[in-house]
Structure formats: C-alpha cells, structure tokens
Amino acid sequence: MQVTVKKGNFDIPCDLLAVPIFQGVQLPKELSEFAKSIRKEVFDGKENQVLLLDTLGKGKWKYLLLFGLGEEKELLLDKFRAFAGSAVRASKSTQSTIVCAIVPEIKTFQKTEISQAISEGALLSNYKCTKFKSKKGEGADKEPEFEPKEFSIVSADIKGVEAAVNRGSILAGAQNYVRDINENPANIVTPQKLAESAKELSKNPNISCTVYEKDALKKAGMNGILAVNQGSDLPPVLIMLEYNKDKKLPHYCVVGKGITFDSGGISIKPSKGMHEMKYDKTGAVCTLGIIKAVAELGLPIRLTGLMPATENMPSGSAQKPGDIITMYNGKTTEVLNTDAEGRLILGDALAFAAEKKPDAIIDLATLTGAIIVALGPHAAGLFSNDDEVASALMSAGEKTHERVWRMPLWKDYAEMIKGDFADIKNIGSESGEASSITAAKFLQEFVGECKWAHLDIAGVDNIKAAHPYMEKGASGIGVRLVVLALEMLAAKK
C-alpha cells in the first residue's frame, strides 16, 4: 500500500473517505446530508468512537468513516495514527481500494505533524504477519488478505505535507521491517541470519558492515558473548553496521541485544510462554531498523550499530551458575543466574562501543521481566547517566507515542551487584529486588565515561491486546523513538 498526498477537500472521489471529528463538534457542512441521520448516541465524536456509513450514492465516495478524536484539549498526536488505523481496517472490511483521509485544521498540532502521524498509522496498521500461513489444505486461507492500493492524505494546503508523509513512510517502513524480521522464530532467524540481514542493509553505499565471528570474539576477549553461547550449537556473532563511517559528524552508537532464542540456559525458564523468547532479539532487530531509517532519511549524523547475537541454550557445555568470566573490558563477573544473559552479551558490546568515544550510546534490550511489572505494556524503562540524553528520549517518546519512563540509577544499587568472588555479579539478589535497576547498573559498568542510556523494552516488544493501529505480534517499538532522539541530540551539537 502506498501513502500519497492529494490537494483538495471533501470533493475527492474515492472508495472510502475518513474524517476525524472532535467530541461535540458538528460535522462539516460538506457532510450535512449525513449529519441529520446520525443520532447523537450513535456518534458524537467521543474518543476512539467509529461510525462507518454506506453513502448509498449520496457522495463522491462509497463509504464514509467518522472517527472520534475526543475533546480537543485532551488531544494527543497519536490519535491520528489511531484514526488512520481505523480507516485501514474499514477499507479491508469494505474492500475499498482507494482511501482518502482528511487532515483537519486545528491549533494543537501543525498540519505536517498530523500528516506524518496519519501516514505512520496507515502503514503500521496495514502490516500483518501472514507469511507462515499455508495456502493449501482444509481451512487454509486461499486468498491473500485484502489491502487498499492507495491511502491518500487530503489537505487544501499541501505545503510541507509531502515531505512529512515521506518521512512518516520511511519511519513506519523501518518499523514494519523490524516487525517482519522479529516474527521469525529461532529455527529461521539464527545469529547468522541476523548477520545476513545486516549485510543486506550495507548495499546502501553509506552503510558498511563488519561481522565478528567466534574466532574474532575469542581473540578480542569478548567472554560475555562467548559464555552465553557455550550451550548452543550455533556460533555467536557481533554485528557492526556503520552509517557515514569516519565522517566528521556527531557520532552515536546504538547497541541492541540479539538473543535469537532464550531458554534461560541452565537456569531454565518455565515452559509457559517460552515460545515468546523468539522476541529476545528485539533490541538487535530494532538496531537494524534504526540504521535503515537513519540512512533512508539521510540524517547528518554518524551512527554505529552493534548487535551481539547468540542463542542461550542448556547443554553439557553451557555456562553454569557460579561460573566466573572476564569481560571484554577486564571486569570479572560471577554468573549467578544464566537467565540473566542479555547483560553479559551487552556488557562486551557496550565496552566495545565506549572505545569508539561516541557522543552518546543508546542500548535497547528486552532485559527484564521486572520492567513489565513496573510499567506494563505502555512504556519502556529508561535508565541514563546523562540528563540531556534522557531528556531527548523522553521528549521523542511523547511525540512518537513510544513513551519511556526514567528510573533511578543511584549508587546504592551498585552495592547490590558487588560480587563475593569477582568484581560484580550478574543479578542483584535472588529475591529479585529492583532487578530492572540492578540490570541497568550492571550495564553501566561497561560504558566508562560515555553518555549513555539504556532502554528496557521487555514490556513493549510485542502486542498482546487490542491496539489502535498494530496487529498482535512484534511491535517494532523503539525505531521511531531512537531516530527522533538522535536527531534532537545532533541538533544541539
């Protein structure tokens, strides 16, 4: 589906016209023919209220969709992503090939902001993972799911709108790219397959790719990655993508956790829900998406993406609780729980990133179940040693609706990960107290003096309940957030 821009108003012919309406506000005069037949109790613009009408030939469109924005004083930009999602769903149910969405004239947000949000919502809502569905056999879907051919954003004044829609399309496209890779289970996406995806991105002349394989990791002393990998038959990799390599531009590093499957290792997880551990590679896949979006937008920054990737499996050769390993930066670590593996592979990658002396490091990881207890599915946990980096991520989160909540990193928590027989230990306590924070404190041991932020995305990596513009499954949340935050940080340089 393509998102396009059309100059006009309600006179644009299409199969389905979608119009956002504030609560208690009368329908535009162009829709007066339909207003008199709509009872207030059926539709009056309440938040997320939807009314789909067959126009019976009374308009230049076969169907009319009204979407409630709620009260203007409480309006969030994300409501326009939901509006677009509602229109795409309606197009599928009505088999509408051409959809037009009206951009309203309001004071709260600029037309370009609204247009970008609508384009993002339209493309994100149109993605559904069906690639594993058989086209053969009893009960199988014999026809591909219907999708509109064209989704047009309609405005009387299109100045700046086309650029905004193009930006939204790139960002949503990168997010859908992440969702599509992330849905692949562990028998399809291995560490080596992740490396292949990175190499594909390096076909862009501004992106270079280096893959450090097992021998190189041994030579470098990346023992955190190697220890986690001990139980797997598949070798580990550390993937590095570089955008605008060596150019004199603000330089940032994004580091993503790439556990392609997490059994917990010897500290094995319960079987219930273990199938979702295919999503433990989300941080790494989001890093791919961030590099893709930044390159396609042509942002004037230098960006290094680092993705340590391995499985975490139990076997006779797997690391064991009580093992002590020496990490890439020389710190020794007691492994008290092999299911706290993400921080081990990230520790090596973060120390490697810190050697490059970037202006800031941002890591993304499905790191702890505790962050889900704390924040649920509505925000990622943010931990940072720098107020400017944290502020950029918080501000970007409000605009993208990929919201974050800052958690403490007080020195007191460092005491909780002091090792008895090594420098540090990989869990704070057996009782799980402050486990999201102690995990972040562990990571902080590897960033040196660099400005750094850690995003614990374990609660937002996949959609489990009804969502206004995304289907159940991998969310790709983090791509739009980090791209905008990087732009904000670079603008201050």
From 111, 278, 343, 425, active-site residue: 343
Sequence-ordered strand ranges (E) for 132-264: 150-155, 207-212, 237-243, 251-256, 258-262
Q: Catalytic annotation on 343?
A: yes
Q: Where are the alpha helices (DSSP H) in 331-467?
A: 342-355, 370-375, 387-400, 411-415, 435-444
Residues shown for the chain: 493
Place of tokens 């100045």: 159
Q: How far apart are the first and last CA of the chain?
A: 38
Distance between CA atoms of residues 222 and 327, nearest Å: 6
Collect all residues with Cβ–Cβ distance below 8 Å to 40 and sequence separation of at least 6: none
DSSP 8-state assignment for residue 290 = H
Residue 268 Cα to chain centre, angstroms: 27
Catalytic residue among 6, 46, 245, 269: 269
From the list 174, 164, 172, 176, the residue with the least C-alpha distance to 116 is 164
Distances (CA, A) of 261 to 273, 367, 460: 12, 13, 18
> What are the backbone angles phi and psi of residue 74, rounded to the nearest 5°?
-105, 10
Residues 253, 302: Cα–Cα separation, whole Å: 9
**Of residues 328, 365, 368, 332, the one with CA closest to residue 226:** 328
Residue 39 annotated as catalytic: no
Q: Alpha-carbon distance 116 to 122, whole Å?
A: 10
Sign of the Cα torsion 185, 190, 195, 196 reads: negative
Looking up tokens 């021998």 gives 215
**Measured distance CA(212)–CA(224) in Å, rounded:** 14
The CA R_g of the chain, rounded to the nearest whole Å, is 24
Distant-in-sequence, close-in-space partners of 7: CB < 8 Å, separation ≥ 6: 154, 155, 156, 157, 158
- Which residues neighbour 423 within 8 Å (Cβ) at sequence distance 6 or greater? 331, 332, 333, 445
Longest pairwise C-alpha distance within the chain: 79
Give catalytic residues, as residue numbers.
269, 343
